[in-house]
Every structure is written in structure tokens, then in C-alpha cells.
Structure 1
Amino acid sequence: MKKIIVTERLYLRELNETDYKYFYNLNLDKDVLEYTGDKPFKNLEESKKFLKNYKPYKKYGCGRWAVIDKKNDAFLGWCGIKFTQSLNEYDIGFRFFKKYWGKGFATESAKSCIEYGINNLKINEIVGRAMKENKASIRVLEKIGLEYHADFDFDGNKGVLYKTK
């Protein structure tokens, strides 16, 4: 599988249908989903169908990518830039299995995605959104160089919007 981005400890590649078990299990953890507004997949088949139909890479040159540990090829989670046509914007997002939290993987992968988006895809602005209570994700957005822009309604919760400088 082609590596899109390679960092010191990680590589990022396109998500594919064979990732369905990881994707399903990642979204089963209520702590992982706590600040996302997403619901868990109902079953493995729903996860597999989602990934089978996930095709932003050719259309936009980016999307959410699998984050893999270079040492052992472990699937740590996902990170990437997503284009939302209705908002005409690119946003950075990331989600990791809890056992990988606090180890710098979100910052390392998200920073590389921002650099890839700006340098390779020539994206002028990338945004990051988080619920105001999600201090860890806000800290990642700040560490990767995004700046606070505004508060907003995040599915009935207080949210913050960050943007590239």
C-alpha cells in the first residue's frame, strides 16, 4: 500500500476496506467518540461498507488516512485533511485508539498533514474544529500551528474553530 506521508515514527496511507475491524473497534470506544458527535458503527459490516464507499482521495487529493507505526505496522488510528464541499473548506481531523493517546502521535501526524496540504496540495487554509471541553485536541491544533479563530455551535455543544495562519 502506497505511503502518502512518512514521519519519524509513522506513515500515513489511504484507508481501505481491509481496515474495517480497526475502524469498527476505534468507534466502539465511548471515550474516543466523546467529543466527536459521531455514533459507533452498528456492526462490522457497516464499518466495511463505510470504508468501501470512502473515495475522497482521487476527487480531492486527500482524506482521512490510516496512521501506521513504522516499527511494527500497527494501526494507531486515522488522521488527515477532509474537504467539505458544502462549506468549501478543508479540515484537519484525527482519531486514535486510547492506548496511543499522550504519545505525540496525533501531533506528529496532524502536523505532517498540514504541511502536506499546504506544500503538496497548495491548500491556502485548513481549519480544525473541537468541542471546547476537548482540551487535548485543542492542544494538538495549537501545537500544529493553527490559531484560534472563533467559537461556534458544535452539535449543541460549545465548539472552537482554529485556522492555519
Structure 2
Amino acid sequence: MSSSNSRLVYRAPQPDDVQRLFAIFGDPQTNLFNPAGPMQHWADAQRLLDRWMAQWASGGYGWWAIAHRDTPCHIIGFGGIAPMNYLGQQRINLGYRFAVQAWGQGYATELGRDALTLAFETLQLPEVFGLVRPDHTASIRVLEKIGMQRHGLLDDVPGQAPSLVLRVCRPATEPA
């Protein structure tokens, strides 16, 4: 999938994505705001990839493998929307993680907009949430730029400030 003017292309994760997943999620730089730190074990990458592929199989959507349109075989990140349990219930959560080399080019904002288009126009979901650490100003800016507003806090990391919960609702459609 990609929109007509998108620089990015998206596809469902595949078994052979495990190497890129481990490289990106295991990089300490991509985990500066992740309290769990970088992924340490190949088996963790395999479990995460298996979970993503199961979400695709059961729901027909989930986190994408993301590449640049000009190099569609080179994965630069993973992200999209998928169910996640927090705030006492299951929510549709927008998330992403890009390789360091892809930072600062507006890809997260582009991904976020494309994921919301899928959520609201294709899947007709009522709302999408984003969960972000309070000191991760770059991701907060991305989520706010795509229309998310602060919705609450989630005390999810013992001994640290709560994460911010942001939300955007599906725009009302004009009657025909």
C-alpha cells in the first residue's frame, strides 16, 4: 500500500523481515525513550514479528514493514495501527519505529497520516490512540501534527513519569 503522492510504501510483515526488525528494534538509538531498552535477543524479534503476522491474519491490518518508494526492498522501519491493551481496555494504537538513517525526513508524520487514512476511511474505526513517553518531544510533535490531542496519562513505567495518551477521533462526514 502507498498513497499516490507518498514517498513510502507499506506491506504486511513477512517472515524474512526478522533481520531488519532485530536491527532496528535492537539499536540503542531507536530505543532512547523505550524504558525496556533495545531488543536483546533474536527470539524476541521473532516473537514480535509472529505477533504482527497473527494480527494481520486475524484482523486484516496491523503494523506495516515500511520502505522508501525508490528502494522498496530495503525496510527503513515498522509502524501503523494495531490493537493494544491499555487504559483498562483494548485500543487501536498508532506506533512506529524507524532506523536512525530514516530520522528527520518526515517519514513518521507521513506514516501517521497514512495510518489514520486506513483507520478512518477504510476500516471506519471511531478513534485511534497514541502512547508516548513524556520526554519524547519529537514523537509528541508528530502525533500532534497529525491531529492527535492529549487524552490522558498511563502510569505504565514503575518509578517514572506516566506516558502520555493522545487520541484522534474519526472526522464527522457531511451528509450527502
Q: Is TM more than 0.5 here? A: yes
Structure 1 residue 84 corresponds to structure 2 residue 84:
yes
1:58 paired residue number: 57
Structure 2 contact 25–97 (Cα < 8 Å) conserved: no
2:15 alignment counterpart: 17
For residues 90 and 50 of structure 2, the distance between their equivalents in structure 1, rounded to whole angstroms, comes to: 24
| Unmatched segments (≥5 aa) in structure 2 | 170-176
- Residues in 2 aligned to 1:90 and 1:45: alpha-carbon distance in whole angstroms: 26
1:108 corresponds in structure 2 to 110
Of 25-34 and 122-131, deviating more is: 25-34
> 1:15-164 counterparts in 2 under 5 A?
15-54=13-52, 55-73=54-72, 74-84=74-84, 87-156=89-158, 157-158=160-161, 159-164=163-168
How far 1:53 sits from its partner (Å)? Answer: 4.6
Q: Is 2:27–2:39's contact at 8 Å kept on the other side of the alignment?
A: no
Corresponding residue pairs, total? 162
Q: What SS does structure 1 have at the residue aligned with 2:110?
A: helix
In 2, are the aligned partners of 1:16 and 1:52 still within 8 Å (CA)? Answer: no
Q: Classify the secondary structure of the residue corresponding to 1:139.
A: helix
Q: Which has the larger radius of gyration?
A: 2
Unaligned runs of 5+ in 1: none
Q: What RMSD in Å do the two structures reach over aligned CA positions?
A: 1.9
CA distance, structure 1, for counterparts of residue 133 and residue 44 of structure 2 = 26
Q: TM-score, normalised by structure 1?
A: 0.88
Q: TM-score, normalised by structure 2?
A: 0.83
Runs of 4 or more consecutive aligned structure 1 residues displaced over 4 Å after TM superposition: none
| Identical-pair percentage | 23
